[in-house]
Amino acid sequence: MKLHRNLVFATIDSLHMIFNEQKQADKVLRNTLKRDKRWGSRDRSFIAETTYDIVRWKRLYAEIAEVKEPFDRPNLFRLFAVWATLNGIKLPDWKQLEDTPVRRIKGRFDELSKIRKYRESIPDWLDELGEKELGKRWDKEIAALNELADVVLRVNPLKATVVQVQNELSDLEIETETIPGSPYALKLKERANVFSTDAFKNGWFEVQDASSQLVAQLLDPKPGMRVIDACAGAGGKSLHIASLMENKGQVIAMDIYENKLHELKRRARRDGIHNIETRVIDSTKVVKKLIEKADKVLIDAPCSGLGVLKRNPDSKWKMDPEFLEQIKKNQAEILDSYSRMVRPGGELLYATCSILPSENDAQIKAFLKRDEGKEFSLVKDKKIWPSESGFDGFYMALLKKNDAE
C-alpha cells in the first residue's frame, strides 16, 4: 500500500481532535471526510479505518512508541508509524516519519502482547474491573470487543422483504447474508456505504446491530398495544417495535434529549411509520401521567457501553470508575421510576449494551428485592456475549407485573 500525504495528514488531524480535544470519533470523522470532494470511497475508508484503528489500539501503540498524552503532532506521527509498521506498510521518506525504529517496534509489540492490558489496549482500572466481574471470561470478551464491527441492516417489513433488500443491494454489488435467529437482519459481506442507496432513502432498512435487534424481538409487541420506549434516544428500537406492530396501536418514545426525538421523527417519516408519538421527559409529570398505562415498557438503560466497544473504541478512553458508579445509580433510579408505567399483567424489558453483571443481572436482582419491584417477576433474561455471537454485547431481562387482585 502506498501512503498518500493528504490522507495521512487528515488522519493525524482527526486523531488530534479525538485525543487532545476529547471530541467524539464518529463526529470528527464525519467532518474530516467532507474536507476534500476529490476523495473517493477508498480514500475515505483509509482515513476512517486508520483513525479508528489507532484510537482502538492507543495504549498499545503509545507504549510501543514511548509517547505520552497529550500527543503533539510529532507524537501522533509516531503512533501512525507504529500502526503502519505493524500493518506491514512501507514508510515513505517524509521528514515526519524519519528515524522510525521498525525492528524495535516489532520487538516491543511481541513483548507487550504478553500483557493483557497492553495487548487489548485498555486502561488499568477497566482491565481490573473486567477481571473482577467476569473472571476468566474477560480475556475472550475484551479480545472480541477489539475486533472490527460488522455492518448489519434491519429490514423494515412495512416497506420491503428481506429478499427484496438483498436483491436491490446485490444489483449495486453490495452482497449480504442473513443471520440465524434475526428474521429481519442482513449482514454486509464487505463494508459499503449503504446510506447513499435508494433502498435506504426509501426506508427499506435501517442500520442496527444484530444484538440490538433482539431487544424488540424479546419484547414481542403486538398490533394494537400501547408500548413505551422510555429511553428512546434516536429511536432505532422504537422504529423496530412500531414495524412489528404493523403501524397499529401506539408507541410512545420518550427521552430527556429533545434533539434525539427530532431525529426519530425524521427516521419514522422515511420508514413510513405513523404510530410513534414522542414525549420529552422534562419533568416528573411526564412519567406520572402514564402510570399503569402501558402494555409493555422498554427501558433501554443508559450504560457504560462496554458491549459496543467494537463500534465506539474511543469510549474506553472517556470512561472512568466514577462515571460507571453514577451510571449504575441512574439505572436503579430509572428502573424504580419508569417501571410504574407498566399496567397490571403487563411486561417490562430492561436492556443494556454492557457485559458487566453489575449493570445487568445484579440490577434486576436488586430491583426485584426493592419495594418498587415487588410486583414484578423475572420471565427470562438473555446475555449476548461478543465472543460467542460475533456481534455487540447485550443484556436483556423480561419482567412481568402481577395482575391486579
Query: Catalytic amino acids?
Result: 353
Distance in Å from the first CA to the final CA of the chain: 71
Conformation bin of residue 173: beta by default, left when phi > 0, alpha when psi is -120 to 50: left
Written as nine digits, the cell of 177 is: 447474508
Q: Is 114 exposed, middle or buried (0-12, 13-18, 19+ CB in 10 A)?
A: exposed
Please report, for residues 111, 183, 307, 360, the alpha-carbon distance to residue 365 in angstroms, rounded to integers and kept in the order given: 42, 31, 20, 9
Total number of residues shown for the chain = 405
171-177, long-range: CB < 8 A, 24+ apart: 172/197
| Placement of cell 475472550 in the chain | 140
At 11, phi and psi to the nearest 5? Answer: -65, -45
| Max CA separation in the chain (angstroms) | 80
Q: Give the Cα separation of 223 and 209 in Å (integer).
A: 24
Write out the H or E segment, with its range, that includes residue 287: helix 284-288
Query: Which residues, in sequence order, are CB contacts of 383 under 8 Å at separation 6+?
Result: 355, 360, 361, 394, 395
Q: Give the Cα separation of 75 and 78 in Å (integer).
A: 5
